[in-house]
């Protein structure tokens, strides 16, 4: 088993992320290379990015798969860390990354990282009460690939390890932005559902929509304790329940339309 000290590039893909970008880039001051790929921002995103790195590049494609592939291909270091502009690397995660890259078994070509949601200054699991979702974000150069799915998620050739410390994640700061995000996620989930199950199933039945929503509400408010976690927990429980309702409502609408 071979071990060696290795370098790391951080890649951030942006588009009008001025509200969250400074915290994101500040948390990446320790990497060997920081690259920002912008998709055409019209707010202060570019000026913020240029305050942290001289590698700020414009990408004309609106295809996230293409943008991610090109961004990862241009990074120069041994390992590549993909960070979203509404995420940040906590200090303990930084030390964990430094440690594993100092002693990385040769067969490991990637690491998953748990992602922890923060909303209104409170850490919340997604879905509420569950373990934080794991995402593959740290990959070895030339061993990665982009999956052709709705999320354009990362994959690797070879084995994947796990990191314990989470990425901070705050995609919304207000109730309005929370429910706007829920609307977008429910559309994505509806298309993913139809991609896997097709239209010849019972998801479009009104009874199924009602049952799934009631089940989600019971899970979020009682089984996972959203009802007892203050106004922030209750808001998130309602948002997660609404996302389930919208998902199956959109499945029904898309099925009837087709």
> CA separation (Å) from 34 to 37, 53, 76, 79, 184?
10, 6, 10, 12, 29
Domain boundaries, the chain: 8-169, 175-257
* Long-range contacts of residues 216-224, Cβ cutoff 8 Å, at least 24 apart: 216/240, 216/241, 216/244, 216/245, 217/241, 219/127, 220/127, 220/128, 220/129, 223/129, 224/127, 224/128, 224/129, 224/130
C-alpha span between 225 and 90 (Å, rounded): 26
Q: Which of the pair, 73 or 224, is modelled with greater confidence?
A: 73
Q: Is the pLDDT of residue 91 over 80?
A: yes
Find the mean pLDDT for residues 44-72. 93
Determine what percent of the chain is predicted with pLDDT higher than 70: 91
> CA separation (Å) from 16 to 19, 48, 54, 181, 238?
8, 11, 18, 15, 28
Q: Is the pLDDT of residue 248 over 70?
A: yes
Find the mean pLDDT for residues 219-234. 84
Q: How high is the mean pLDDT of the chain?
A: 86
168-185 confidence digits (pLDDT tens): 988 877 888 888 888 988
186-216 confidence digits (pLDDT tens): 998 888 888 877 766 655 677 778 888 999 8
What is the pTM for the complete model shown? Answer: 0.77
Q: Is the pLDDT of residue 164 over 50?
A: yes
Dihedral of alpha carbons 169, 175, 181, 186, sign: positive
Lowest pLDDT segment from 75-89, 217-231, 240-254: 217-231
- CATH class of residue range 8-169: alpha beta
Q: Is the pLDDT of residue 93 over 60?
A: yes
**What pLDDT score does 2 carry?**
43
Q: Is the pLDDT of residue 22 over 90?
A: yes
| Secondary structure element (H or E) that encloses residue 14, with its range | strand 8-14
Find the mean pLDDT for residues 237-254. 89
């Amino acid at each position: 088993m071979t071990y060696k000290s290795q370098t790391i590039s951080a890649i951030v893909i942006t588009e009008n992320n001025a509200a969250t970008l400074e915290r994101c880039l500040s948390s990446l001051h320790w990497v060997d290379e920081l690259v920002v790929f912008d998709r055409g921002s019209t707010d202060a995103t570019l000026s913020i990015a240029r305050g942290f790195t001289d590698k700020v590049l414009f990408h004309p494609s609106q295809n996230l798969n293409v943008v991610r592939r090109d961004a990862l291909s241009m990074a120069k270091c041994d390992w590549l860390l993909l960070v979203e502009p509404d995420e940040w690397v906590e200090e303990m995660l930084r030390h964990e990354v430094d440690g594993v890259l100092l002693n990385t078994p040769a067969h490991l070509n990637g690491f998953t990282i748990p992602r922890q949601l923060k909303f209104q200054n409170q850490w919340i699991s997604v879905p509420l009460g569950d373990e934080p979702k794991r995402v593959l974000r740290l990959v070895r150069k030339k061993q990665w690939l982009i999956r052709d799915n709705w999320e354009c998620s990362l994959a690797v050739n070879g084995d994947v390890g796990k990191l314990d410390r989470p990425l901070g994640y705050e995609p919304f700061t207000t109730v309005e932005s929370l429910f706007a995000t829920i609307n977008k996620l429910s559309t994505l989930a509806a298309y993913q559902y139809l991609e896997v199950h097709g239209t010849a199933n019972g998801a479009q039945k009104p009874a199924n929509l009602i049952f799934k929503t009631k089940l989600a509400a019971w899970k979020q408010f009682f089984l996972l304790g959203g009802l007892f976690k203050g106004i922030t927990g209750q808001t998130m429980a309602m948002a997660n329940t609404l996302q389930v309702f919208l998902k199956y409502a959109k499945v029904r609408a898309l099925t009837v339309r087709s």
